[in-house]
């Protein structure tokens, strides 16, 4: 099975929400307009496709020179364990080799990032959002 990766093809918000739901990524999947805004405000979007089916996506931000943040990484369960997540992260790093990316792992993926070579950080803080 051939997987193609692209940063110049933005999926529809409904397709992204369906992938998030399948991957059990905790996002506002019932608020399609909010999903659309999330993607409109992101300057790093890399998607993985099997033919015309969206099977993985990475959404993030980067300044292109120093800092970057991976907001979302989702891979459809039928396509997990095929290095799609690893490849999406690799593609993100290749867009800006001088950038140090950080992320907050979802509870179901806490061990994944160490497994693929990411280093844990202890000096992070966050400001909680209002309820959904």
Q: Residue 85: which residues within 8 A CB-CB, separation 6 or more?
A: 56, 73, 75, 112, 116
What letter would DSSP give residue 108? G
DSSP annotation string for 16-71: HHHHHHHHT--S-TT-HHHHHHHHHT-SEEEEEEETTEEEEEEEEEE-SSSEEEEE
The bridge status of strand 4-6 relative to strand 67-75 is unpaired
Contact call for residues 79 and 22 (beta carbons, < 8 A): no
Three-class SS state of 94: helix
Whether the per-residue pLDDT at 115 is higher than 90: the answer is no
Say if CB 110 and CB 103 are below 8 A apart.
Answer: no
- Inform me whether the pLDDT recorded for 123 exceeds 90: no
3-class secondary structure, 8: coil
Q: Kindly list the structural domains of the chain, giving each domain's residue range(s) and its CATH number in brackets, ordered by start.
A: 4-115 (3.40.630.30)
Q: What is the mean pLDDT of residues 108-128?
A: 78
| Single pTM value for the model | 0.88
Q: What is the per-residue pLDDT across 1-35, written as a single tens digit (0 to 9) for each?
A: 799 999 998 999 999 999 999 999 999 999 999 99
Cβ–Cβ under 8 Å, residues 19 and 53? no
């Amino acid at each position: 099975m051939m997987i193609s990766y692209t940063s110049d093809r933005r999926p529809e918000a409904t397709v992204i929400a369906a992938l998030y739901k399948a991957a059990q990524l905790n996002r506002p999947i019932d608020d399609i307009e909010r999903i659309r805004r999330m993607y409109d405000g992101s300057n790093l979007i890399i998607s993985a496709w099997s033919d015309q089916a969206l099977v993985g996506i990475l959404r993030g931000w980067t300044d292109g020179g120093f800092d970057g943040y991976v907001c979302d990484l989702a891979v459809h369960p039928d396509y997990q364990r095929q290095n799609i997540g690893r490849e999406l992260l690799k593609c993100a790093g290749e867009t800006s080799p001088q950038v140090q990316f950080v992320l907050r792992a979802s509870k179901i993926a806490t061990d994944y990032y160490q497994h693929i070579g990411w280093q844990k950080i202890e000096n992070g803080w966050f400001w909680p959002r209002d309820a959904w």
